Chains A and B, each alone.
Chain A
Amino acid sequence: MMNEKPSTVLIVEDDPSLRDSLRRTLRKKGYTIIEAEEGGQGLKLLKAHAVDVVLIDIFMPGKEGIETIQQIRRSHPQVKIIAMSGGGERMYIDVLRVAKSCGCHLTLDKPFSEETLINAIQAQLA
């Protein structure tokens, strides 16, 4: 399945452990991985690299996930965005639903399985 054109996934996640584990999982599947700790850094990397899919955590310090999603939608409309969140609500707002309404293509509720993640990315790439 992995051919000469490996897809590039940008992971935007503040938690290094989660970031590493995601990287390991995706690398195993042959994706090219770029990592960012927060939204601002992610946006910079987007400009430097050809990214196919952005996997982004909604809650992060600095630029919040939702804001970053909106900016990516504006600056790189071709990039697919998958949002991740650990909880359904925070401050009384269903953030995943908000993320979706902001233009994110798919949402993943933690914890999710490897298959779910890979299927999600594959679905976006298809």
Chain B
Amino acid sequence: MTKSIRYRWIPFNMVAVTAVAAGIVLFGISKFESYLIDRTGRELQWAAMEIAEKIDLLLVERYGDMKLIQGILPEVGYEAREKHWSQHFKNIQEAYPIYAWIGFVDKAGRVVASTDPAAVGKEAGSARWVGPVDGKRDITIQEIQHDELVDGQWTLSFATPVTLHAWPGRSGPFEGTLVTRIRFSELDEVVTRSLREMKTKMESREGMEYQVVNKQGQVLIKSRHLLEGTTNLINLGIKSAERATAGEAGFILEQHAHRSVEVLTGYAPIPEQKDFPKLGWGILVQVDHQTVLGPIRSLIQTVTFWGMAIFFPLWALLLWTMHRLRAEWHQTEAAQQASQELVNQKRTLLATVEAFFIQLNNATVVAEWTNQAERTFGITADEAIGKSFGGLVIAWDWHVVSEAIAQAAQNRVVVRLNKVVLSNEGERPRYLKLTLSPLKTNSGLDIVLMGEDITEYLALEHDLSQAQKLESLGQLAAGVAHEINTPTQFVGDNLRFLSEAFTDIGVVLDHHHTLLTSAKAGSCQQEAIERCEAEARRVDLEYLQEEVPKAIAQSFEGVERITKIVRAMKEFAHPGGEEAAYEDLNKAIQTTVEVSRNEWKYVAELTMDLAPDLPPVFCQLGPINQVVLNIIVNAAHAIGDVVKGTTQKGRITISTRTVGDGVEIRVRDTGGGIPETIRGKIFDPFFTTKPVGKGTGQGLAIARSVVVDKHGGRIDVESEVDQGTIFIIHLPVKPREAPSLREAA
């Protein structure tokens, strides 16, 4: 029995493989993500550093401008400062349009000279321009400023104290403050320009933001919106701002200050310069984390899409295939089981039936050897299978069996051997009926040999046949007894009569002798004559003369009858051995009619119409006699049932004639006929219409067996209810060529 394998783990396996694949993909993606962040962060850092450098450069230039202007002022002179300085400032502004305003504020806080003539004389605010600057020697930078001097524009101011008759770095009385103011928008311009340049260098990054923060963390410049409010990034806890203002450069993933998204920020400080006030500004350049992951996202999407597009159909295909395979496997398994079952059933069947089966591959090698075969031949299947059949030790007539096998194989016909004697050592001989059938197989032509042990059957058949024989013999004995007893009776009586008559006649003769003697002597005595006549009367001589010849004749006839019946009986019972020979059927019929006379003579006239030229027929006469007897007795009984209680007699007609290669015996009676309903059963063994215990029901069955099986003839019945029945026996004249072999296509 094949064990069922279900592969239950396959779906789990698939899930596991999928999970591992997904893990690998995720790991790869995360690696790629950190690589991307690292790369982008670095780029952003470089951008921040570059911007820082540019701003630094710009500031350093402005710082230099300041020194330049400061150095030129004494040259210009202090007289008519509002006129000359203003002109000087104007010239510078024209040369460097970056400047929003250049002016000189005196120590009272009033504008003395200015690029804008309208501003001269206006109060600029000493708190802003004088206090912080006075006493300082260096330039101060005012980070964010906007007032009416610059039309409210946001500016970055540089302020440096101016002392009369003194050079920078040399002490003198504080005269006022030189102020240069540059537009923040100019700084913004620098940042944006450098970013634009970088953007072309970097992969195009949409949504890039930047901030310039001062030391305190205050946003000075911001992409898109300039100085919107006074956001302090350090206060907001933005690490990049902290680090940039602390002088570090780098990149970091952090929360956006305003939007709740994660951003990647590159940061750098404005580098510190010698002779330049330390600003401590920081530059932050950032992009949304999402944006960084853009390529990865698209990659994931692509991978996911193709994964879905390829993997799921594949998975589906795999599952479907598995399903199909499983279904097919189940089918195969079922088919296998079914075929196994068939084989088992066949085995069981073959083991159950009484017959044995032997299969011979190519009509020689034993391929199948059933239990019954083991029992019949005393050879086990192991000993037989694979061996040459002819090589097995089987005590039967191999000549006949081999010839039958050859015949079945060569002519491809079913060959039957009706009686094969198997004489196993130490056992009574057994009789086998063999049927050899050719069987076409892939490898050639096999012979299937089916055999049946018919010993018991033959014994039974024999017993029944014997029983029937006894039955008919008993019946005959009764009839024959009657036939013999009657003549015996009257022959005996007649002899007694004759004996007594002879005595009487002797007495009369004695008297006659006396009379004759006296007559010879010449003395014819009247007394003697009278005594003679008296004696003749006494013995009724006349009567005796009349009866004695009759009695003698009848006795002869009686003895003749006895002789005839005894001879017929002998001929019927022992028609000359068991062997078949050419026999005169007409004579046999006459004999049978004779012995059965008592059965029919009271109910029927029997006529015989026997063909004088009937050829001798090759047959076993004993069984044929019995068949004819059975049919005559049946006919007599059938007629007897009809004529019972009347003085009528029926008629039995027996005729013979030659028909083709055979002869036909017809026995016709005028009995009641056989009802249609039982006509088909009359040849069945044990079928009888006679009372229980009377008749074995074998008569016609044996008749059929004798005529058909033993002689290859035919027995038919024609019957009409109330008209009578005709039994027709047809026997071939010549014996069959091979009496024990019969072929069928």
* Interfacial residues, chain A to chain B (CB-CB below 8 A): 15-18, 20-22, 24-25, 28, 38, 40, 59-64, 67, 85-92, 109-114
Whether A15 lies near B493 (C-beta < 8 A) is: no
Whether A61 lies near B649 (C-beta < 8 A) is: yes
Whether B493 lies near A110 (C-beta < 8 A) is: no
Distance in angstroms between the alpha carbons of A37 and B43 in the assembled complex = 157
Q: Which of B649-689 contact A (CB under 8 A)?
A: 649
| B-chain residues with CB within 8 Å of residue A15 when the two chains form the complex | 486, 490
Whether A17 lies near B488 (C-beta < 8 A) is: no
Contact partner, A24, options B487, B497, B645, B690, Cβ 8 Å:
B497
- Contact A21 to B551, CB < 8 A, known contacts A62-B647, A92-B694, A110-B489: yes
Whether B602 lies near A60 (C-beta < 8 A) is: yes
Q: Which of B439-495 contact A (CB under 8 A)?
A: 477-479, 481-490, 492-494
Whether A110 lies near B554 (C-beta < 8 A) is: no
Whether B493 lies near A114 (C-beta < 8 A) is: yes
Distance in angstroms between the alpha carbons of A92 and B694 in the assembled complex = 7
- Contact A110 to B647, CB < 8 A, known contacts A24-B493, A25-B496: no
Whether A67 lies near B486 (C-beta < 8 A) is: no
Does B547 reach chain A (CB closer than 8 Å)?
A: yes
Contact partner, B490, options A18, A40, A88, A92, Cβ 8 Å:
A18
Expressed in whole angstroms, the minimum distance between the Cβ of B347 and any Cβ of chain A is 51
| A-chain residues with CB within 8 Å of residue B481 when the two chains form the complex | 86-88
Whether A110 lies near B486 (C-beta < 8 A) is: yes
Does B557 reach chain A (CB closer than 8 Å)?
A: yes
Interface SS, B side:
helix
Whether A22 lies near B493 (C-beta < 8 A) is: yes
Does B598 reach chain A (CB closer than 8 Å)?
A: yes
Does B550 reach chain A (CB closer than 8 Å)?
A: yes
Does B500 reach chain A (CB closer than 8 Å)?
A: yes
- Contact A111 to B551, CB < 8 A, known contacts A61-B647, A87-B479, A89-B478: no
| A-chain residues with CB within 8 Å of residue B41 when the two chains form the complex | none
Distance in angstroms between the alpha carbons of A59 and B477 in the assembled complex = 16
Does B84 reach chain A (CB closer than 8 Å)?
A: no
| B-chain residues with CB within 8 Å of residue A59 when the two chains form the complex | 482, 598, 602
Distance in angstroms between the alpha carbons of A60 and B551 in the assembled complex = 22
| A-chain residues with CB within 8 Å of residue B598 when the two chains form the complex | 59, 87, 90
| B-chain residues with CB within 8 Å of residue A20 when the two chains form the complex | 490, 547, 550-551, 554
Ordered by A's residue number, 24 sampled pairs between the chains whose C-beta atoms are within 8 Å are A16-B554, A17-B558, A18-B486, A18-B490, A20-B550, A21-B490, A21-B493, A24-B493, A24-B494, A28-B500, A60-B602, A61-B602, A64-B602, A87-B485, A87-B598, A90-B598, A91-B640, A92-B691, A110-B485, A110-B488, A111-B489, A111-B492, A112-B489, A114-B496
Does B637 reach chain A (CB closer than 8 Å)?
A: yes
Whether A86 lies near B482 (C-beta < 8 A) is: yes
Expressed in whole angstroms, the minimum distance between the Cβ of B54 and any Cβ of chain A is 148
Expressed in whole angstroms, the minimum distance between the Cβ of A74 and any Cβ of chain B is 16
| B-chain residues with CB within 8 Å of residue A25 when the two chains form the complex | 493, 496-497
- With contacts A17-B487, A22-B490, A24-B497 known, what are 4 further pairs, Cβ within 8 A? A62-B647, A86-B489, A87-B481, A91-B637
Kindly report which residue of chain B lies nearest to residue A39, judged by CB atoms: B647
Q: Which of B490-545 contact A (CB under 8 A)?
A: 490, 492-494, 496-497, 500
Kindly report which residue of chain B lies nearest to residue A38, judged by CB atoms: B647
Whether B479 lies near A21 (C-beta < 8 A) is: no
Whether B493 lies near A86 (C-beta < 8 A) is: no
Contact partner, B479, options A18, A61, A64, A90, Cβ 8 Å:
A90
| A-chain residues with CB within 8 Å of residue B694 when the two chains form the complex | 92
Expressed in whole angstroms, the minimum distance between the Cβ of B148 and any Cβ of chain A is 163
| A-chain residues with CB within 8 Å of residue B485 when the two chains form the complex | 86-87, 109-111
Expressed in whole angstroms, the minimum distance between the Cβ of A27 and any Cβ of chain B is 8
Distance in angstroms between the alpha carbons of A39 and B602 in the assembled complex = 13
* Interfacial residues, chain B to chain A (CB-CB below 8 A): 477-479, 481-490, 492-494, 496-497, 500, 547, 550-551, 554, 557-558, 598, 601-602, 637, 640, 645-647, 649, 690-691, 694-695
Kindly report which residue of chain B lies nearest to residue A89, judged by CB atoms: B478
| A-chain residues with CB within 8 Å of residue B558 when the two chains form the complex | 17
Pick the most buried of B479, B482, B647: most chain A CB atoms within 10 A of its CB. Answer: B482
| B-chain residues with CB within 8 Å of residue A64 when the two chains form the complex | 602
| B-chain residues with CB within 8 Å of residue A21 when the two chains form the complex | 489-490, 493-494, 497, 551, 554
| A-chain residues with CB within 8 Å of residue B477 when the two chains form the complex | 87
Distance in angstroms between the alpha carbons of A114 and B558 in the assembled complex = 17
Kindly report which residue of chain B lies nearest to residue A108, judged by CB atoms: B489
Whether B488 lies near A111 (C-beta < 8 A) is: yes
Distance in angstroms between the alpha carbons of A21 and B534 in the assembled complex = 26
Distance in angstroms between the alpha carbons of A67 and B483 in the assembled complex = 21
Pick the most buried of B496, B646, B694, B695: most chain A CB atoms within 10 A of its CB. Answer: B496
User: 5 tightest CB-CB pairs across the interface, nearest first?
Assistant: A86-B482, A86-B485, A21-B490, A110-B485, A62-B647
Expressed in whole angstroms, the minimum distance between the Cβ of A11 and any Cβ of chain B is 12
| B-chain residues with CB within 8 Å of residue A60 when the two chains form the complex | 602
Contact partner, A85, options B482, B602, B695, Cβ 8 Å:
B482
Expressed in whole angstroms, the minimum distance between the Cβ of A68 and any Cβ of chain B is 12
Distance in angstroms between the alpha carbons of A13 and B324 in the assembled complex = 100
Distance in angstroms between the alpha carbons of A28 and B547 in the assembled complex = 12
Whether B486 lies near A28 (C-beta < 8 A) is: no
| A-chain residues with CB within 8 Å of residue B601 when the two chains form the complex | 61
Kindly report which residue of chain A lies nearest to residue B492, judged by CB atoms: A111
Distance in angstroms between the alpha carbons of A85 and B483 in the assembled complex = 10
Distance in angstroms between the alpha carbons of A59 and B479 in the assembled complex = 11
Whether B482 lies near A28 (C-beta < 8 A) is: no
Distance in angstroms between the alpha carbons of A24 and B493 in the assembled complex = 8
Expressed in whole angstroms, the minimum distance between the Cβ of B606 and any Cβ of chain A is 13
Whether B554 lies near A87 (C-beta < 8 A) is: no
Distance in angstroms between the alpha carbons of A109 and B602 in the assembled complex = 19
Expressed in whole angstroms, the minimum distance between the Cβ of A84 and any Cβ of chain B is 8
Expressed in whole angstroms, the minimum distance between the Cβ of B109 and any Cβ of chain A is 172
Expressed in whole angstroms, the minimum distance between the Cβ of A38 and any Cβ of chain B is 8
Kindly report which residue of chain A lies nearest to residue B504, judged by CB atoms: A28
Distance in angstroms between the alpha carbons of A110 and B492 in the assembled complex = 11
Distance in angstroms between the alpha carbons of A114 and B481 in the assembled complex = 19
Expressed in whole angstroms, the minimum distance between the Cβ of A82 and any Cβ of chain B is 14
| B-chain residues with CB within 8 Å of residue A91 when the two chains form the complex | 637, 640
Kindly report which residue of chain B lies nearest to residue A59, judged by CB atoms: B602
- Contact A17 to B490, CB < 8 A, known contacts A85-B482, A86-B482, A114-B496: yes
Expressed in whole angstroms, the minimum distance between the Cβ of A95 and any Cβ of chain B is 10
Distance in angstroms between the alpha carbons of A64 and B649 in the assembled complex = 12
Distance in angstroms between the alpha carbons of A85 and B490 in the assembled complex = 13
| A-chain residues with CB within 8 Å of residue B695 when the two chains form the complex | 92
Whether A24 lies near B647 (C-beta < 8 A) is: no
Kindly report which residue of chain A lies nearest to residue B481, judged by CB atoms: A87
Distance in angstroms between the alpha carbons of A22 and B551 in the assembled complex = 11
Distance in angstroms between the alpha carbons of A109 and B558 in the assembled complex = 18
Distance in angstroms between the alpha carbons of A23 and B557 in the assembled complex = 18
Distance in angstroms between the alpha carbons of A11 and B602 in the assembled complex = 19
Expressed in whole angstroms, the minimum distance between the Cβ of B670 and any Cβ of chain A is 16
Expressed in whole angstroms, the minimum distance between the Cβ of A23 and any Cβ of chain B is 9
Expressed in whole angstroms, the minimum distance between the Cβ of A86 and any Cβ of chain B is 3
Distance in angstroms between the alpha carbons of A116 and B554 in the assembled complex = 22
Kindly report which residue of chain B lies nearest to residue A90, judged by CB atoms: B478
- Contact A87 to B478, CB < 8 A, known contacts A21-B497, A61-B649, A114-B496: yes
Distance in angstroms between the alpha carbons of A87 and B484 in the assembled complex = 9
